[in-house]
């Protein structure tokens, strides 16, 4: 027993050391900037200035939430279908979902704009006059497009090794396809969904390039605001304060989510 | 899956190592030193469009003619940055060491005041004499004594419009950006300094004013303009104007020529109320290690062949008289656009940067940006303009459907959680009953 | 069911690849623009080969993505195993929270705070006058933001795995490190692989963090493209990415064909 606990502690050790050196230590710089004015004197005024950005907070969280839900709705069936495909074809299908992400984000976004823009491909082909780029819908679309693989992959990995006999048992006991999916597959893959949600929701709150380009710059998300503040060394302070508060908010919401994901994961998981 | 994946990795590794083999080097007698040049992306003639690769020309020139004198050969390490601020971040934090940089005028002013620039050695930069007179006298308000900078390019902000859609009678002034006739087809700068400046110019104020009420007035104008604006853009402007997605945009004269290349319905004018002039100048930062070679590099950039190549490649206005008086250049530019020389080199009055432009009676007025900072005298102007910009961006930006969707999602999540919680309780109860 | 799944996968791939197709089309543009076609030509492909710095940058990007992906996968997998077995709940949740920080910080905050840290370390601790940012600082930065993705994709697999398997192995006299390689790793391998793929993808596409933490001796492709602000991106970059996508897709299809043949051969051998 002792050997085992030593081994498990040692396994996480490199990561803990790494985290302290390269995550916590840089964070101290952010903390320093958040709590000082440009001359280096201690102040709470940066934090006090935050209510000004309340609307931005709300908008960012809303858009990320909607994008995350859409990612689940699209990504879950995708992962399910891939996991049911011929085994030899699964890696191909999976990698094919990821390859678009290997094209540079900037180039991809420009190309998306060429499709969606006012004088873009869709409007030219359909002869319509839709205004898509510059709306919040376009930003949600961009987020879904960019983060979808991070939803598909974890769900797929959990599904791929799911015990197929359980599914057969369920349908033998009279469940139809839909019921099998809802009652058996869904609970069994919950840990994959939780990972996927984290990997989509968390980065999309702080995204900035997508919202700037596809949102037409007519509104700002948190990432844009922070990026703007950090672009100029004289305004680091407020930017640092915003990103600190954002971190706290995200951690809180993650803690809540893990709380009710864990409950079932522990109890509902098959031995 | 595993096997295939590793074979994929292997192939990628092989590819990488093949590419590595390409970069081989040769031994020379003299030691080689590296000159680190830090410039904007795509801001130098790099060998494309049948124009020479300027950095390679410099290496050749230095190694053939100056290597003996200095006792070393030079290899140029050319890297790029996307904005003045990113470049400043690197240099001010001490995380990068460069020998030649090319900041814009307001950044030069800031860097001089923070002692980040070295005085140039003009005994080495003999070609400085070719720089047009006005840049050595009244143009360089950012470097009043002319000790730190050699101008590289300059340019003017104007309005680019699509002649297919915009009536000729509407042009001439900044008002076009506020013309409701073209609602949804107008673009605006996506940075506070340039966007607020368009409003300040329209109002006839100085863009360097420290009067908060004037800035607030400009902000009101931008808020009025917001419903008409299709997008706040920076480099997306090229695609949007070329494809005809937008018809009207404020941008730089040199970039207009680039857009005109792909869409000849576009035209350009400088607004009558006055507009902005910028200068990007070569400087040597205090962190430079190859100071002598840096001076030689700057000097070389002013000689005819590289200056001409850069001017033709970039399409920006060039302060070098060797270029502007060259017939080859003039032909090249006229071939590009018949009015290009008038657009790039319009004779105009550069006004005192703190006077309101409406008080000056002249045809063409231009003024420089100065760095905005927080001081007691200007009442923390930087913070103030930042919060004004945030106001423009945040205003009226949350639509009801977002709130409704949020509520629906949260309600569904809660219902789901509740139902699974109740089911679990029921299950537990049934176990205990048994 | 089969048709539904094929149709669904088809539609999603169509959407995912639409921007890529647009990129490929514009790479054949005779004009300079990436939004208006002015005829078809191969000039951007030939222009591409006159720009060795693009290939140099591509090589650097691949090297960095591979090495940071591998390192992050090793550290992250170990961390996930260690975390799953960690007894102290507070420690587990705090390590979990810290891990996610690079994911939720806008890249510019991570980028600048790490840059400040590197400058601080090299000036105050190592006593260097000059700070040499380059491959190693980039590697550290990339591993740091890759770690949460690896951990998050391994975690669900660990949860899904029977907890008693490694214990059984150890009870039967298997040393802990051996039981990890023989029992746990094969079980969680799909998660590890998808973690690596995600890390590779993220690292390949990063430009903000690389901009601040890279030096002029090691330039990556996304940074190079991000710096193209003075002039528009030309179709030569599109040509480069078209070549990349074609290469990857070819490799994928070839490997799929190879494995299909393997399977058929095995099936025949069985008969």
Give a yes or no: residue A87 inside a domain: yes
Q: What is the CA radius of gyration of chain B?
A: 27
| Interchain CB distance below 8 Å, C211 and B86 | yes
Give a yes or no: residue A41 inside a domain: no
Give a yes or no: residue B10 inside a domain: no
User: Which pLDDT does position B198 carry in this prediction?
Assistant: 94
Please indicate, yes or no, whether residues C213 and C141 belong to a single structural domain of this protein: yes
| Interchain CB distance below 8 Å, C156 and A121 | no
User: Which pLDDT does position C61 carry in this prediction?
Assistant: 94
Please indicate, yes or no, whether residues B318 and B229 belong to a single structural domain of this protein: no
pLDDT band at residue A127 using 50, 70 and 90 as cut-offs: confident
Of residues B174, B113, B179, B101, the one with CA closest to residue B143: B113
Whether the predicted pLDDT of B24 surpasses 60: no
User: Which pLDDT does position B94 carry in this prediction?
Assistant: 83
Q: State the best of C226, C232, C249, C260 to mutate against chain B, taking most chain B CBs within 10 Å.
A: C232
Q: Which two tokens stand for residue B159?
A: 């309005």
Give a yes or no: residue A80 inside a domain: yes
Show which of B316, B336, B356 is a domain's final residue. B336
Note down the domain range covering B308: 28-154+279-336
- Given CB atoms, is B249 within the 8 Å cutoff of chain A? no
If one compares B61 and B13, the residue with the highest pLDDT of the two is B61
User: Which pLDDT does position B124 carry in this prediction?
Assistant: 92
Show which of B304, B336, B368 is a domain's final residue. B336
If one compares B427 and A263, the residue with the highest pLDDT of the two is B427
Task: Write out the E strands in B57-165.
Answer: 73-81, 100-101, 150-162
Total structural domains within chain C = 2
Note down the domain range covering C198: 52-227
Give a yes or no: residue A206 inside a domain: yes
Whether the predicted pLDDT of C175 surpasses 70: yes
Please indicate, yes or no, whether residues B38 and B163 belong to a single structural domain of this protein: no
**Residue B144 CB contacts under 8 Å (≥ 6 apart), including other chains:** none
Report yes or no: A104 and A96 within 8 Å, Cβ to Cβ. no
- In the block, residue with structure tokens 């960019």: A146
Give a yes or no: residue A51 inside a domain: no
Please indicate, yes or no, whether residues B314 and B359 belong to a single structural domain of this protein: no
How much is the average pLDDT of C243-268?
A: 85
Lowest-confidence segment of A131-140, B106-115, B221-230, C168-177 by average pLDDT: C168-177
Q: What is the largest CA-CA distance in chain B?
A: 101
User: Which pLDDT does position A264 carry in this prediction?
Assistant: 47
Rounded CA-CA distance C158/C67 in Å is 24
Q: Which residues of B touch A111 (CB under 8 A)?
A: none
Q: State the best of B11, B52, B95, B238 to mutate against chain C, taking most chain C CBs within 10 Å.
A: B95
Please indicate, yes or no, whether residues B359 and B233 belong to a single structural domain of this protein: yes
Of residues C119, A237, C221, A39, the one with CA closest to residue B91: C119
User: Which pLDDT does position B217 carry in this prediction?
Assistant: 94
Whether the predicted pLDDT of A173 surpasses 80: yes
% chain C with pLDDT above 70: 99
Q: Which residues of C touch A220 (CB under 8 A)?
A: none
- In the block, residue with structure tokens 């460069």: B98
Mean residue pLDDT of chain A comes to: 84
pLDDT band at residue B19 using 50, 70 and 90 as cut-offs: low
Q: State the best of A217, A225, A226, A267 to mutate against chain B, taking most chain B CBs within 10 Å.
A: A217
pLDDT band at residue B25 using 50, 70 and 90 as cut-offs: very low
Across the interface, which of A220, A228, A233 has its CB nearest the CB of B394?
Answer: A220
Q: What is the pLDDT of residues B305-351, one digit of tens each?
A: 999 999 999 989 999 999 999 999 999 999 999 888 888 988 777 77
Helix (H) or strand (E) holding B32: strand B32-40
User: Which pLDDT does position C143 carry in this prediction?
Assistant: 95
Show which of B296, B315, B336 is a domain's final residue. B336
Rounded CA-CA distance B99/B37 in Å is 6
User: Which pLDDT does position C176 carry in this prediction?
Assistant: 73
pLDDT band at residue C2 using 50, 70 and 90 as cut-offs: confident
User: Which pLDDT does position A5 carry in this prediction?
Assistant: 55
Give a yes or no: residue A194 inside a domain: yes
Whether the predicted pLDDT of C33 surpasses 90: no
Please indicate, yes or no, whether residues B202 and B292 belong to a single structural domain of this protein: no
The C-alpha of C47 sits at a distance from chain A's nearest C-alpha, in angstroms, of: 18
Please indicate, yes or no, whether residues B253 and B285 belong to a single structural domain of this protein: no
Total structural domains within chain A = 1
% chain B with pLDDT above 90: 54
Task: Please state, in angstroms and as integers, the Cα–Cα distance from residue A124 to each residue in A121, B342, B346, C131, following that order.
Answer: 5, 35, 38, 52
How much is the average pLDDT of B25-40?
A: 79
By CB atoms closer than 10 A (0-12, 13-18, 19+), residue B51 is: middle
Q: Which of residues 49-68 of A touch B (CB under 8 A)?
A: 52-53, 55-56, 58-59, 62-63, 65-66
Please indicate, yes or no, whether residues B286 and B144 belong to a single structural domain of this protein: yes
Note down the domain range covering A161: 58-264
Q: Give Cα B325 to chain centroid, integer Å.
A: 27
How much is the average pLDDT of C105-123?
A: 86
CATH, residue C68: 1.10.3720.10
pLDDT band at residue A262 using 50, 70 and 90 as cut-offs: low
Give a yes or no: residue B325 inside a domain: yes
Lowest-confidence segment of A134-148, A165-179, B70-84, B196-210 by average pLDDT: A165-179
Across the interface, which of B86, B232, B398 has its CB nearest the CB of A58?
Answer: B398
Give a yes or no: residue C25 inside a domain: yes
Interaxial angle between packed helices C235-270 and B2-22, expressed in degrees from 0 to 180 and rounded to the nearest 10:
140
- Given CB atoms, is B41 within the 8 Å cutoff of chain C? yes
Interaxial angle between packed helices A136-160 and A190-205, expressed in degrees from 0 to 180 and rounded to the nearest 10:
150
Give a yes or no: residue C202 inside a domain: yes
How many other C-beta atoms lie within 10 A of the C-beta of residue C7?
11
**Residue A140 CB contacts under 8 Å (≥ 6 apart), including other chains:** A63, A66, A67, A70
Q: What is the pLDDT of residues C78-102, one digit of tens each?
A: 999 888 877 777 888 888 888 888 8
Interaxial angle between packed helices A105-116 and C2-26, expressed in degrees from 0 to 180 and rounded to the nearest 10:
100
User: Which pLDDT does position B306 carry in this prediction?
Assistant: 93
Whether the predicted pLDDT of B301 surpasses 90: yes
By CB atoms closer than 10 A (0-12, 13-18, 19+), residue A234 is: middle
User: Which pLDDT does position B10 carry in this prediction?
Assistant: 54
How many other C-beta atoms lie within 10 A of the C-beta of residue B144?
9
Rounded CA-CA distance A204/A64 in Å is 6
Please indicate, yes or no, whether residues B141 and B47 belong to a single structural domain of this protein: yes
Please indicate, yes or no, whether residues C188 and C76 belong to a single structural domain of this protein: yes
Please indicate, yes or no, whether residues B271 and B357 belong to a single structural domain of this protein: yes
User: Which pLDDT does position A7 carry in this prediction?
Assistant: 64
Q: What is the pTM of this model?
A: 0.88
pLDDT band at residue B23 using 50, 70 and 90 as cut-offs: very low
User: Which pLDDT does position C93 carry in this prediction?
Assistant: 81
User: Which pLDDT does position A164 carry in this prediction?
Assistant: 77
Mean residue pLDDT of chain B comes to: 87
Whether the predicted pLDDT of B400 surpasses 70: yes
User: Which pLDDT does position A1 carry in this prediction?
Assistant: 43
Report yes or no: B205 and B357 within 8 Å, Cβ to Cβ. yes
| Interchain CB distance below 8 Å, C63 and B16 | yes
DSSP B82: S
Please indicate, yes or no, whether residues C242 and C154 belong to a single structural domain of this protein: no
Rounded CA-CA distance B348/B361 in Å is 12
User: Which pLDDT does position B255 carry in this prediction?
Assistant: 92
How much is the average pLDDT of B281-286?
A: 95
Give a yes or no: residue C269 inside a domain: no
DSSP C161: S
| Interchain CB distance below 8 Å, B393 and A38 | no
Q: Which residues of C touch A239 (CB under 8 A)?
A: 109
Please indicate, yes or no, whether residues C153 and C101 belong to a single structural domain of this protein: yes
User: Which pLDDT does position B3 carry in this prediction?
Assistant: 54
Please indicate, yes or no, whether residues B54 and B150 belong to a single structural domain of this protein: yes
Whether the predicted pLDDT of B275 surpasses 70: yes
Give a yes or no: residue C266 inside a domain: no
Across the interface, which of A11, A81, A207 has its CB nearest the CB of C82?
Answer: A11
User: Which pLDDT does position B5 carry in this prediction?
Assistant: 55
Please indicate, yes or no, whether residues B247 and B290 belong to a single structural domain of this protein: no
Q: What is the pLDDT of residues A44-57, one digit of tens each?
A: 888 888 888 888 88
Give a yes or no: residue B403 inside a domain: no
User: Which pLDDT does position A261 carry in this prediction?
Assistant: 61
Q: What is the ipTM of this complex?
A: 0.86
CATH, residue A153: 1.10.3720.10
User: Which pLDDT does position A4 carry in this prediction?
Assistant: 53
Q: What is the pLDDT of residues B224-253, one digit of tens each?
A: 999 999 999 988 899 999 989 999 999 999
- Given CB atoms, is B265 within the 8 Å cutoff of chain C? no
Please indicate, yes or no, whether residues B376 and B249 belong to a single structural domain of this protein: yes
CATH, residue B196: 3.40.190.10
How much is the average pLDDT of A128-156?
A: 91
| Interchain CB distance below 8 Å, A216 and B232 | yes
Q: What is the pLDDT of residues B101-153, one digit of tens each?
A: 999 999 999 999 999 999 999 999 999 999 988 888 777 788 888 889 999 99
Q: Which residues of C touch B4 (CB under 8 A)?
A: 255-256, 258-259
Rounded CA-CA distance A246/A240 in Å is 10
| Interchain CB distance below 8 Å, B246 and A118 | yes
Whether the predicted pLDDT of C23 surpasses 90: yes
Total structural domains within chain B = 2
Give a yes or no: residue B409 inside a domain: no
Q: What is the pLDDT of residues C211-221, one digit of tens each?
A: 889 887 888 99
The C-alpha of A12 sits at a distance from chain B's nearest C-alpha, in angstroms, of: 24
């Amino acid at each position: 027993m002792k050997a085992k606990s030593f081994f498990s502690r040692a396994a996480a050790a490199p990561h803990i050391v790494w985290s302290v050196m390269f995550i916590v230590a840089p964070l101290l710089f952010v903390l320093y900037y958040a709590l000082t004015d440009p001359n280096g004197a201690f102040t709470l005024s940066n934090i006090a200035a935050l209510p000004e950005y309340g609307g931005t907070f709300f908008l960012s969280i809303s858009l990320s939430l909607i994008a995350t839900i859409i990612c689940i709705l699209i990504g879950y069936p995708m992962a399910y279908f891939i996991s049911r495909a011929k085994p030899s074809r699964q890696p191909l299908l999976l990698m094919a979902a990821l390859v678009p992400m290997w094209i540079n984000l900037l180039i991809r976004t420009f190309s998306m704009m060429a499709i969606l823009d006012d004088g873009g491909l869709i409007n030219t082909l359909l002869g319509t006059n839709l205004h898509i780029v510059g709306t919040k819908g376009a930003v949600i679309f961009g987020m879904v497009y960019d983060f979808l693989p991070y939803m598909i992959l974890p769900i797929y990995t959990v599904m791929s090794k799911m015990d197929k006999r359980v599914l057969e048992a369920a349908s033998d006991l009279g469940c139809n396809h839909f019921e099998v999916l809802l009652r058996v597959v869904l609970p069994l893959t919950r840990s994959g969904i939780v990972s996927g949600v984290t990997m989509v929701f968390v980065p999309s709150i702080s995204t900035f390039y997508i919202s700037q380009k596809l949102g037409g710059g007519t509104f700002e998300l948190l990432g844009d605001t922070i990026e703007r503040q950090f672009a100029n060394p004289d305004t680091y302070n407020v930017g640092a304060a915003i990103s600190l508060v954002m971190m706290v908010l995200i951690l809180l919401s993650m803690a809540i989510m893990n709380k009710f994901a864990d409950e079932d994961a522990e109890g509902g998981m098959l031995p | 899956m595993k096997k295939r994946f590793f074979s994929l990795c292997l192939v990628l590794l092989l590819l990488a190592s093949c590419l590595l083999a390409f970069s081989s080097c040769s031994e020379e007698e003299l030691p080689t030193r590296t000159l680190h040049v830090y410039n904007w992306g795509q801001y130098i003639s790099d060998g494309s469009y049948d124009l020479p690769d300027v950095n390679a020309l410099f290496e050749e020139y230095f190694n053939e003619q100056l290597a003996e004198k200095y006792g070393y050969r030079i290899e140029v390490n050319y890297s790029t940055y996307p904005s003045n601020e990113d470049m400043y971040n690197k240099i001010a934090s001490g995380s990068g060491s460069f020998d030649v940089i090319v900041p814009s005028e307001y950044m030069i002013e800031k860097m001089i005041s923070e002692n980040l620039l070295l005085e140039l050695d003009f005994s080495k930069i003999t070609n400085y004499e070719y720089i047009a007179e006005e840049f050595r006298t009244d143009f360089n308000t950012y470097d009043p004594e002319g000790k730190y900078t050699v101008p590289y390019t300059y340019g003017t902000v104007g309005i680019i419009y699509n002649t297919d859609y915009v009536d000729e009678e509407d042009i001439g002034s900044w008002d076009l950006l506020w013309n409701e006739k073209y609602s949804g087809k107008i673009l605006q700068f996506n940075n506070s300094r340039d966007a607020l400046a368009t409003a300040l110019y329209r109002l006839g104020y100085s863009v360097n004013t420290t009067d908060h009420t004037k800035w607030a007035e400009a902000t009101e104008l931008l808020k009025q303009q917001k419903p008409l604006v299709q997008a706040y853009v920076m480099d997306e402007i090229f695609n949007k104007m070329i494809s005809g997605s937008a018809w009207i945009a404020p941008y730089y004269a040199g970039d207009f020529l680039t857009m005109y290349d792909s869409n000849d319905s576009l035209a350009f004018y400088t607004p009558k109320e006055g507009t902005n002039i910028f200068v990007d100048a070569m400087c040597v930062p205090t962190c430079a290690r190859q100071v002598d070679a840096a001076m030689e590099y700057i000097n070389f950039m002013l000689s005819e062949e590289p200056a001409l190549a850069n001017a033709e490649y970039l399409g920006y206005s060039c302060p070098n008289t060797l270029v502007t008086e060259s017939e080859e250049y003039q032909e090249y530019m006229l071939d590009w656009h018949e009015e290009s020389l008038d657009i790039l080199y319009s004779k105009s009055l550069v006004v005192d940067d703190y006077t309101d432009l409406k008080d000056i009676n002249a045809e063409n007025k231009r003024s420089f940006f100065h760095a905005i900072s927080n001081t007691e005298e200007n009442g923390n102007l930087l913070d103030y303009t930042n919060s004004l910009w945030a106001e423009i961006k945040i205003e009226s930006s949350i639509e009801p459907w977002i709130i409704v969707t949020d509520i629906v999602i949260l309600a569904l999540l809660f219902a789901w959680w509740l139902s699974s919680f109740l089911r679990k309780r029921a299950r537990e109860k049934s176990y205990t009953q048994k | 069911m089969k048709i539904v799944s094929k149709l669904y996968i088809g539609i999603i791939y169509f959407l995912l690849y639409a921007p890529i197709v647009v990129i490929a089309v514009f790479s054949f543009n005779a004009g300079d623009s990436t939004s208006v076609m002015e005829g078809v030509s191969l000039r951007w492909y030939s222009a591409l080969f006159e720009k060795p710095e693009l290939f140099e940058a591509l090589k650097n990007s691949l090297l960095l993505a591979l090495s940071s992906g591998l390192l992050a996968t090793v550290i992250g997998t170990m961390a996930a195993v260690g975390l799953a077995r960690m007894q102290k709940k507070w420690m587990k949740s705090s390590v979990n929270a810290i891990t996610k920080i690079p994911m939720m910080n806008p890249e510019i905050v991570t980028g600048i705070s790490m840059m400040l840290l590197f400058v601080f370390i090299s000036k105050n601790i190592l006593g260097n006058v000059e700070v040499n940012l380059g491959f190693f600082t980039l590697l550290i930065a990339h591993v740091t933001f890759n770690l949460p993705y690896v951990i998050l994709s391994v975690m669900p697999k660990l949860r899904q795995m029977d907890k008693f398997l490694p214990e059984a192995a150890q009870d039967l006299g298997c040393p802990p490190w051996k039981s990890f390689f023989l029992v746990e790793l094969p079980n969680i391998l799909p998660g590890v692989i998808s973690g690596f793929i995600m890390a590779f993808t993220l690292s390949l596409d990063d430009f903000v963090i690389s901009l601040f933490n890279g030096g002029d001796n090691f330039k990556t492709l996304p940074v190079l493209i991000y710096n193209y602000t003075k002039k528009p991106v030309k179709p030569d970059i599109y040509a480069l990415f078209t070549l990349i996508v074609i290469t990857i897709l070819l490799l994928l299809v070839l490997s799929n064909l190879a494995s299909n043949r393997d399977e058929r051969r095995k099936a025949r051998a069985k008969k």
